[in-house]
Chains A and B, each alone.
Chain A
Amino acid sequence: MDLSQLTAKQIVSRIKSRELSATEVIKHTLDRIERLDGQVGAFLSVHREQAAARARAIDDRLAAGDDPGPLAGLPVAVKDNICTRGARTTCASHILEHYQPPYDAGVVERLEAAGAVIVGKTNLDEFAMGSTTENSGLGQTRNPWELDHVPGGSSGGSAAAVAARLTSVSLGSDTGGSIRQPAGFCGVCGLKPTYGRVSRYGLVAFGSSLDQIGPFATDVHDIALLLSAIAGHDERDSTSVPPTMAATPDFLAGLDNADIKGLKVGLPKEYYGQAGLDAEVSHAVGEAIEQIKAAGAETVEVSLPHTDYAVACYYLIATAEASSNLARYDGVHYGYRTPSPSDLIDLYSRSRAEAFGDEVKRRIMLGTYVLSAGYYEAYYLKALKVRTLIKRDFERAFGEVDVICSPVSPTPAFRIGETVDDPLAMYLSDIYTISANLAAIPGLSVPCGLSRAGLPIGLQILGRHFDEPTVLRVGAAYQARTDHHRQRPPIASA
């Protein structure tokens, strides 16, 4: 049996029924990573001994008649900006290259309490800043569909691991599209939950008002399975919503025989009118929307009038927050320290200069500038006001429709090296994903076809705050009628 073709749901079911052992599943996963990851570069570290030990412990508990949890024995890959106690968490940066957190992130605790087995940490753009994983300071991840193309970013490693079927599921983080866009580029599913749905405790902060952790998987059912395990209030993250404000629903309910009859799907006219939107992407997304209509939904044109201001708004807020969040990397408490500083300020300035990559420096510089005296009102405060306008655009649209559908990205994946010299062009490619982070709404990316060159195209489904159930239901209804999500690159069958 080729275990790499099983979904997470199938794996946990077969482990629970003792048809498979956790030990053999983990061994299979580790062997596969060893055999194939040299070509893909998804992983920065693999937890061989710990994963094997955990698998044995799970098998022991199953043999004793215990229930180790709803994800018992499931191999999971985790983005390397999420803290795993005692195991390197590098954020793909030289400044944290040897850092071992003294604690587990909230989501890691939840995964392990559910019986999942973390098999390794995946590559990302340094400190989650980027859209191609080319900004990683520790290696290049390749798109499993075309190895000379990027997997997207910043969660490129997590997306590639699932696309190559090294694991069936993984965790990433999304600040401006960093789960949804690599999911689109790699032909897998990816969800950014509503802000506050999943704890950020242990997620290395980039843009604190924008960051969310979320799952990658090969189908919507598995997305719901992972989300169920990681969602929920965490008092250690004061931005995590308490149950009184938003209860955690049963994300798996309503996905089998998903019914979307009468659902209203909004199509933002500003999104489809973008000059940079590739014709093949537009076509594939159009076909996907026809399928969603055939399932009983109704489409409605909506307007998000401040769409063209979203990228500018985002890059002011995100970089401002980043400049503050990355101030802690000072060579004193952890991380890289320059060898012979002349004084304390020199220690800070040299350590940071020697160990941060260019994109990180650029964003720290921009963020520092827009927060500095004399510029704060003109830039940062202005951006916060525009954020209100963008939030209101969605509130108005969701008064008319239940979900909004769009492309995930204007184009399929780029070649490695194609965009490295033009940061602004890179930022503009985030046009479809970025507003969801500003407005704090959930967004799901599902595969909806391949370009003529064989590169995946992603459909994005956005929903109201805390309405992941409707978003997931639309995704499930779409996947019941189509098989784009079952397509896999040749390496996945290797």
Chain B
Amino acid sequence: MAELTQEQVRHVAKLARLNLSDEQARLFARQLDGILDYVEKLNQLDTADVEPTAHAAPLRNVFREDVARPGIGSEHVLANAPDAEPPFFRVPKVLDLGDSGA
């Protein structure tokens, strides 16, 4: 198992939308590396014929009737917004800015 490079850490941070300082990137690389080393032990187990368990309770596909119901109301929805212009949440312009485009 290859060591986690700082470049990989930065890539993961980008996926997770987390800015990291250089110091944090170094610290996390070291700590995450240690944890990933530890979890390698799962490879000692042969799970070729084992089904995955995503959740251990016996429920599958819980549906309700497809009937519209009132929501909580836009006043409540916007009540905790850092920057709202009812009925909208205001955010910086979403433009195609080359490599920072979402």
* Interface membership of A369, Cβ < 8 A: yes
B residues 26-41 near A (Cβ < 8 Å) are 28, 31-32, 34-36, 38-39, 41
Contact A323-B93, Cβ < 8 Å, known A365-B9, A424-B38? no
* Interface membership of B68, Cβ < 8 A: no
* Interface membership of B67, Cβ < 8 A: no
Contact A330-B83, Cβ < 8 Å, known A384-B53, A423-B35? no
Task: Check if A349 sits within 8 Å of B19, measured CB to CB.
Answer: yes
Task: Check if A386 sits within 8 Å of B47, measured CB to CB.
Answer: yes
B residues in contact with A352, CB < 8 Å: 16-19
Scoring A98, A311, A347, A385 by chain B CB atoms within 10 A of each residue's CB, the highest score goes to: A385
CA distance A263 to B32 in the complex (A): 44
Describe B's contact surface by its main secondary structure: loop
Closest partner residue, chain B, to A316 (CB atom): B39
Task: Check if B80 sits within 8 Å of A335, measured CB to CB.
Answer: yes
Q: How many residues of A contact B (CB 8 A)?
A: 73
Task: Check if A312 sits within 8 Å of B41, measured CB to CB.
Answer: yes
A-B contacts, CB under 8 A, total: 177
CA distance A335 to B83 in the complex (A): 10
Select which of B19, B54, B79 is within 8 A of A102 by beta carbon. Answer: B79
Task: Check if B97 sits within 8 Å of A334, measured CB to CB.
Answer: no
Select which of B35, B43, B45, B82 is within 8 A of A306 by beta carbon. Answer: B45
Shortest beta-carbon distance from B37 to chain A in Å:
9
Contact A337-B52, Cβ < 8 Å, known A196-B57, A245-B58, A312-B39? no
Question: A-side interface residues toward B, CB under 8 Å?
Answer: 98-100, 102-103, 194-196, 208-209, 235, 238-239, 241, 245, 306, 308-309, 311-313, 315-316, 323, 327, 330-337, 341-350, 352-353, 356, 358, 361-362, 364-366, 368-369, 372, 379, 381-389, 391, 423-424, 427, 438-440, 465
20 A-B pairs in the complex with CB atoms less than 8 angstroms apart:
A100-B79, A102-B80, A196-B59, A238-B59, A316-B39, A332-B81, A332-B91, A335-B80, A343-B100, A344-B102, A353-B19, A353-B20, A366-B36, A368-B15, A379-B39, A386-B45, A388-B47, A391-B56, A424-B38, A427-B35
Given contacts A208-B55, A334-B81, A385-B47, 11 further A-B contacts (CB under 8 A): A100-B80, A241-B58, A332-B82, A352-B16, A385-B50, A385-B53, A388-B50, A389-B45, A391-B56, A423-B35, A424-B34
